[in-house]
């Protein structure tokens, strides 16, 4: 009878470890996808920075629809894709944070929070950079800084998730 209890205990421990390994696997998949989107974001942003001709405005553009119409009229589809990709990355960062919290590892949770907050700063700065008529370089700089912090913290999250899953396996 004791032997059955030990086997059940061993089986439940194996199931628990398999569940944790599955959480790390999902987190790693989303982190890799997020890094791919961040790389695309970098390429789109550099293309817009180097080759796009932004319309000049003497006053800020205003809110919402006015900004969208100005971008559409400027013939800058790369900037539109850049903005949409940024919002998609924001959604991925939220999912990454949820998966990181499920692993119960503080380092992954903290990096997930840093990634999300820095990306929020990048999105906010990008929005206000466009609203300024593409002339306020402080917003451009803070957009780039938020981006690079988000990319680095996402990369470090991926490295740490591999480290934890490796120690889980051994």
Residue 5 lies in a domain: no
| Torsion (CA) 5, 11, 15, 16 in degrees, nearest 10 | 50
3 located within any domain = no
Domain membership flag for residue 43? yes
For the chain, how many structural domains are there in total?
A: 1
**If you search the block for the tokens 């987190």, which residue do you land on?**
27
For the chain, state the CA radius of gyration: 21
Instruction: Name the CA dihedral angle for 15, 24, 97, 87, rounded to a multiple of 10 degrees.
Output: -130
pLDDT tens for 116-155 read 999 999 999 998 998 888 889 999 999 999 999 999 999 9
Question: Residue 3 pLDDT > 80, yes or no?
Answer: no
Question: Is 58 inside a domain boundary?
Answer: no
Q: Is the pLDDT of residue 88 over 90?
A: yes
pLDDT of residue 53: 72
pTM of the model: 0.82
| 143 Rama class: left (phi>0) / alpha (psi -120 to 50) / beta | alpha
Please indicate, yes or no, if residue 126 is contained in any of the structural domains: yes
């Amino acid at each position: 009878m004791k032997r059955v209890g030990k086997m059940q205990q061993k089986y439940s421990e194996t199931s628990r470890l398999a569940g944790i390994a599955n959480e790390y696997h999902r987190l790693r998949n989303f982190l890799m996808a997020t890094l791919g989107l961040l790389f695309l974001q970098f390429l789109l942003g550099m293309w817009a920075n180097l080759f796009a001709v932004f319309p000049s405005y003497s006053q800020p553009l205003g809110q919402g629809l006015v900004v969208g119409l100005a971008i559409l009229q400027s013939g800058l589809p790369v900037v539109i894709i850049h903005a949409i990709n940024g919002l998609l990355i924001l959604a991925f960062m939220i999912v990454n944070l949820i998966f990181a919290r499920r692993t119960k590892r503080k380092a992954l949770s903290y990096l997930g929070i840093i990634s999300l907050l820095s990306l929020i700063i990048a999105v906010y700065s990008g929005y206000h950079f466009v609203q300024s008529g593409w002339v306020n370089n402080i917003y451009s700089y803070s957009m780039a800084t938020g981006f690079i912090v988000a990319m680095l913290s996402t990369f470090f999250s991926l490295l740490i998730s591999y480290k934890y899953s490796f120690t889980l396996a051994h």
